[in-house]
A and B are shown apart, each in its own frame.
Chain A
Amino acid sequence: MRAHLIRRVLQSGLVLLVVGFVAFSMFRFVGDPVDNMLGPERTQADIARLRTDLGLDRPIPVQYARYLAQAVQGNLGVSYRLGRPVADILAERAPATLELAAVSGLLALVGGVALGVLTAIRRGGIATGVLMTLSLVGVSLPTFLIGIGLIYVFAICLGWLPSFGRGDTVQIGGWTTGLLTASGRRALILPALTLGLYQMTLIMRLVRSQMLEVLSHDHIRFARARGLPEWRVLFRHALQNALVPVITVAGLQLGSIIAFAIVTETVFQWPGLGLMFINAIRFVDIPVMAAYLMLISAMFVAINLLVDLLYLFIDPRLRPAQQRSGG
């Protein structure tokens, strides 16, 4: 088991090195950094001096090592478009995205598990049929159309909720939060729904199929035969077993929540990392793109590792055999 963990950590490290190399190559080979940093009025001497300053005259592996070392220390270069250090921009934008992703993830998990259990118990009911059909449509529906639809209904027709921005925010240390003000919370509702809905349908379908499978097992029949109350059978004996694969899927979905936050942030003009990334692509702002890539990869790799650990924690069958006997 320890060998497995060590292998996973090494693998993660390798992924990060590869991603770092991709980011470095973008930085180094897409467009000429010297060209991008010096204005049109420059002399050959300026160019040569900047090349030496940036280390562009050194061998490629040395440049790569230097790039990684600087990235780890938080020096991610300067945005071509905004002329500010990329690290500052990231730090300023990250809270908005993390708050959005956390709230949507929570929504997807709670809503998905609740609806999944409901549709598994009420098999063949009308509500189940409606929910299953809706979830099928929901899977085909592109995120941005969900967002536009919600804006149309709740912001334009009903006028209940704001259609763009973060509302009022409060600064706590280096973190700006919208969760502490009423307008911030209202502004969060539609984006969080948009982002969480797709994951919610996925989790709901998974929980349902897992529940249906577990409910047909003998230990459930035995629990019922012992006269345990139904809620206890459902939640203690069935749901707990059904949730094991859900954890993996939910964990991996956290990654796609962060990726699709790009879409949601654009629809709602949410001032987070995703909107920054889209603008970086549109204006070919390579340092910002490279930095976003590295930040996101670090997050994804960390999430994958955590999911693996959590799996061990939740499923006793995967733990070393000596702890339990007879299972």
Chain B
Amino acid sequence: MMGRAADGAIGRGQSLARTPRALLSLGVLAGLVLAAIGAPLLAPHDPFDPATLDLMNGFTAPMTHNPYTGDLFWLGADDQGRDVFSAILFGLRISLFVGMSAVALAAMLGVSLGLLAGYLGGWVDGLTMRAADVQLTFPAILVAMLIFGVAKGITPVAYRDEMAIWVLILAIGLSDWVPFARVVRGAAMVEASRDYVLAARLSGRSGPAIMLRHILPNVLSPVLVIATIGLAQAIVTEATLSFLGIGAPPTQPSLGTLIRTGQSYLFSGEWWILAFPAATLLALALAVNLLGDWLRDRLNPVLQ
């Protein structure tokens, strides 16, 4: 049931074991995801509990004992004495959560609209694709910024910080549905004209059943590729918005928020507050990107 497209591609791409770059990316990504999931267990300090912070620990350099308290921080401490390593673990959690949720939202929206447009055709198709064209006129990050700004305007002031993460997911998710819709629409149009769909229709299955049970499984492999590449993009977009101060709030810092905070200490020489979150973000984005490239070559050589 995995469909022609996937079967045909097997053997043409290289397997994971024979591509060290993809294997390494997978390893890095798995490590980062595990670290994010296990953050409450792994983190030596709780960065959200002000009671455990000691201002005397402020600006402790990495791998050195603080001269006053004698505490050791692997990756140093920030201005308030917060352990940078723990902050990164929890930041990674938020970055990954926002990125994955946003891609899931974009995929659900895009796949549904693409299926409807491709299967039904007519004005549904016309309207969906024109909307996609209009949105594609603008870079996704700009669309995300606008949605974020509008959603923030609608949210009551008291809830703005609390809702910021969800608003962020909504903004990034809504800005990135077009690639999913385009690919699924194209594939659905091809599948809809095949004999097995005709047979299903003749046997009296309903439209939604045909779309979900017969067409959807056959368009899943390009969706997986787009989702992986989209994840890298969503993570970078999230980090960018948070860095600009219009994303994850300081109370729930993502990697981007940490980089924003760290930037102000670059000039005074406390490089570790910025460098380690930045390196983590870079490793995450690069790993997901390389994995997406490999997946694309393997699953769907047609997608360039």
CB–CB A259/B139 < 8 A: yes
Q: Report the minimal beta-carbon distance from B192 to chain A, rounded to whole angstroms.
A: 27
Q: Report the minimal beta-carbon distance from B23 to chain A, rounded to whole angstroms.
A: 17
- For A262, the chain B residues whose CB sits under 8 A away are 142, 145, 244
CB–CB A301/B149 < 8 A: no
Chain A, residues 132-145, CB within 8 Å of chain B (1/0): the string is 00000101111111
Which residues 281-305 in A have Cβ within 8 Å of B in the complex? 281-282, 284, 286, 289, 293, 296-297, 300-301, 304
Partner of B266, one of A18, A30, A156, A304: A156
Chain B, residues 127-154, CB within 8 Å of chain A (1/0): the string is 0000001100111011001101110111
Instruction: Answer yes or no: B66 CB below 8 A from chain A CBs.
Output: no
CB–CB B263/A148 < 8 A: yes
Residues of B within 8 A of A (CB): 133-134, 137-139, 141-142, 145-146, 148-150, 152-154, 232, 236, 239-240, 243-246, 259, 263, 266-267, 271, 274, 278, 281-282, 285-286, 289
CB–CB A148/B145 < 8 A: no
Q: For residue A144, which residue of chain B has the nearest CB?
A: B243
The CA-CA distance from A300 to B136 in the complex, in Å, is 11
CB–CB A300/B282 < 8 A: no
CB–CB A30/B289 < 8 A: no
- For B145, the chain A residues whose CB sits under 8 A away are 262, 277, 281
Which residues 4-22 in A have Cβ within 8 Å of B in the complex? 11, 15, 18-19
The CA-CA distance from A184 to B212 in the complex, in Å, is 59
The CA-CA distance from A144 to B285 in the complex, in Å, is 14
Instruction: Answer yes or no: A31 CB below 8 A from chain B CBs.
Output: yes
CB–CB A148/B137 < 8 A: no
Instruction: Answer yes or no: A68 CB below 8 A from chain B CBs.
Output: no
Instruction: Answer yes or no: A278 CB below 8 A from chain B CBs.
Output: yes
The CA-CA distance from A259 to B141 in the complex, in Å, is 8
CB–CB B152/A284 < 8 A: yes
The CA-CA distance from A300 to B135 in the complex, in Å, is 12
Q: Report the minimal beta-carbon distance from B130 to chain A, rounded to whole angstroms.
A: 8
CB–CB A278/B244 < 8 A: yes
- For B289, the chain A residues whose CB sits under 8 A away are 139-140
- For A141, the chain B residues whose CB sits under 8 A away are 282, 285
CB–CB B153/A259 < 8 A: no
Q: Report the minimal beta-carbon distance from B292 to chain A, rounded to whole angstroms.
A: 10
Partner of A255, one of B138, B148, B266: B138
CB–CB B139/A256 < 8 A: yes
CB–CB B138/A144 < 8 A: no
- For B236, the chain A residues whose CB sits under 8 A away are 140, 142
The CA-CA distance from A145 to B266 in the complex, in Å, is 13
- For B246, the chain A residues whose CB sits under 8 A away are 278, 281-282
List 10 tightest A-B contacts by C-beta distance, closest first: A281-B149, A30-B153, A259-B139, A259-B142, A256-B139, A140-B286, A140-B289, A284-B153, A142-B236, A140-B285
Q: Report the minimal beta-carbon distance from B25 to chain A, rounded to whole angstroms.
A: 11
Q: Report the minimal beta-carbon distance from B191 to chain A, rounded to whole angstroms.
A: 29
Per DSSP, are chain A's interface residues mostly helix, strand or loop, or mixed? helix
- For B153, the chain A residues whose CB sits under 8 A away are 26, 30-31, 284, 286
- For B267, the chain A residues whose CB sits under 8 A away are 156, 163
The CA-CA distance from A289 to B244 in the complex, in Å, is 16
Q: For residue A263, which residue of chain B has the nearest CB?
A: B240
Count class of interface residues, chain A = 35 or more
**Further 4 A-B residue pairs, CB within 8 A, beyond A148-B278, A289-B149:** A142-B240, A148-B263, A266-B243, A304-B137
Interface core residue of B139, B240, B274 (most chain A CB under 10 Å): B139
Q: Report the minimal beta-carbon distance from B54 to chain A, rounded to whole angstroms.
A: 28
- For B274, the chain A residues whose CB sits under 8 A away are 148
Given A26-B150, A263-B244, A281-B145, A145 contacting B263 (CB threshold 8 A): no
The CA-CA distance from A148 to B243 in the complex, in Å, is 11
What are 13 inter-chain pairs, A to B, with CB distance below 8 A? A18-B134, A30-B153, A139-B289, A140-B289, A142-B240, A144-B243, A144-B259, A255-B137, A255-B138, A256-B139, A259-B138, A259-B142, A300-B138
CB–CB A145/B282 < 8 A: yes
The CA-CA distance from A143 to B243 in the complex, in Å, is 11
Q: For residue B269, which residue of chain A has the nearest CB?
A: A156
The CA-CA distance from A278 to B259 in the complex, in Å, is 17
Given A140-B282, A148-B274, A266 contacting B244 (CB threshold 8 A): yes
Partner of A293, one of B146, B232, B259: B146
Instruction: Answer yes or no: A200 CB below 8 A from chain B CBs.
Output: no
Instruction: Answer yes or no: A222 CB below 8 A from chain B CBs.
Output: no
Instruction: Answer yes or no: A67 CB below 8 A from chain B CBs.
Output: no
Chain A, residues 78-108, CB within 8 Å of chain B (1/0): the string is 0000000000000000000000000000000
- For A31, the chain B residues whose CB sits under 8 A away are 153
Instruction: Answer yes or no: A235 CB below 8 A from chain B CBs.
Output: no
Instruction: Answer yes or no: A190 CB below 8 A from chain B CBs.
Output: no
The CA-CA distance from A303 to B239 in the complex, in Å, is 28
The CA-CA distance from A18 to B239 in the complex, in Å, is 29
- For A266, the chain B residues whose CB sits under 8 A away are 243-244
